[in-house]
Amino acid sequence: MNDDILLEPTLLRAIWRYRWLTLLVAIAVTAAAYVYAVTTASEEYSSEASIVAEDPLSSIIFENSSVRRADYLSDQVDFMGSGTVADEAVRLAAAEDPTYPYFGAELLDRVRVFESGARITVRVVADSESASILGANSMIAAYQNLVRSEAQTSFTNTVAVLNVVMAELEEDLVEVSGEILAAQEIANEDLLRLKQQYDEALPRLSELFDELETATELQRDSILLQIDDISTQLRVLEVVNRLEGTPPEMTALLERQRRTIARLDDLADQRDQYRVDEKLIGEAASSTTTATFATRIATDVPRLIAAGAFMGLLLGSGLAYVLALRRRTITDRAQPELVLAAPLIAEVPNFRQEGIRTALPVRTHPRSASAESFRFAAAALDLSRAAPMGSIITEGKLVIVTSAGVADGKSVIAANTALAAAREGKRVLLIDVDFGSQAATTMLTDTRPESGLTEVVETGTALSEAVVAIEGSGTTGLHLLARGWRSTTAPEFFRNPATRDFLDQIQEFYDLILLDAPPLLTVAYASTLAGMVDKVLVVTRHNGPASALEELQDRLDLIGTPTVGYVYNLAPLRLDISRNEGSMRDVLGQHQPEKNGDGDGHA
- pLDDT at 140 > cutoff 80: yes
Which DSSP letter does residue 352 get?
Answer: G
Task: From 124, 126, 74, select the one nearest 99 (Cα to Cα).
Answer: 126
Amino acid at 181: L
Given a contact cutoff of 8 angstroms between Cβ atoms, the answer to whether 476 and 426 are in contact is: yes
Q: What confidence category does residue 602 fall into, taking pLDDT thresholds of 50, 70 and 90?
A: very low
Given a contact cutoff of 8 angstroms between Cβ atoms, the answer to whether 353 and 42 are in contact is: no
Mean pLDDT is lowest, of 27-36, 161-170, 529-538, 545-554, for: 161-170
- pLDDT at 579 > cutoff 60: no
Q: Determine the pLDDT at residue 412.
A: 97
Q: Determine the pLDDT at residue 27.
A: 93
What sign does the dihedral 483-487-492-495 (CA atoms) show? negative
Longest distance between any two alpha carbons in the chain, whole Å: 170
Amino acid at 251: T
d(CA 401, CA 383): 17
d(CA 342, CA 64): 93
Given a contact cutoff of 8 angstroms between Cβ atoms, the answer to whether 540 and 566 are in contact is: yes
d(CA 536, CA 461): 28
d(CA 584, CA 591): 8
d(CA 422, CA 516): 16
Percent of the chain with pLDDT over 70: 77
pLDDT digits 0-9 by tens, 518-553: 999 999 999 999 999 999 999 999 988 888 999 999
Given a contact cutoff of 8 angstroms between Cβ atoms, the answer to whether 165 and 267 are in contact is: yes
Alpha helices in 215-282 (DSSP H): 217-244, 251-279
Bridge pairing between strands 535-541 and 468-471: unpaired
Given a contact cutoff of 8 angstroms between Cβ atoms, the answer to whether 165 and 268 are in contact is: no
The mean per-residue pLDDT over the stretch 402-418 comes to: 95
CA geometry: angle at 333 spanning 541 and 512, to 5°?
Answer: 70
Given a contact cutoff of 8 angstroms between Cβ atoms, the answer to whether 303 and 311 are in contact is: no
Q: Determine the pLDDT at residue 63.
A: 45
Percent of the chain with pLDDT over 90: 34
Bridge pairing between strands 44-53 and 285-289: antiparallel
Given a contact cutoff of 8 angstroms between Cβ atoms, the answer to whether 519 and 540 are in contact is: no
The second-level CATH assignment, the architecture, of 335-580 is 3-Layer(aba) Sandwich (3.40)
Higher-confidence position of 57 and 101: 101
CA 316 to chain centre: 14
- pLDDT at 3 > cutoff 60: no
- pLDDT at 111 > cutoff 70: yes
Q: What confidence category does residue 170 fall into, taking pLDDT thresholds of 50, 70 and 90?
A: confident
Assign residue 484 a region: left if phi > 0, alpha if psi is -120 to 50, beta otherwise?
A: left
- The three-class DSSP label of residue 472 is coil
pLDDT digits 0-9 by tens, 38-93: 777 677 888 888 888 666 555 454 544 444 455 677 887 888 888 888 898 899 98
d(CA 17, CA 413): 27
Strand-pair partners of 568: 347, 540
**What Å distances lie between residue 282 and 17, 78, 279, 287, 343, CA to CA?**
71, 20, 9, 11, 90
Element at 578 (helix H, strand E): helix 575-578
Domain ranges for the chain:
8-41+299-327, 156-279, 335-580
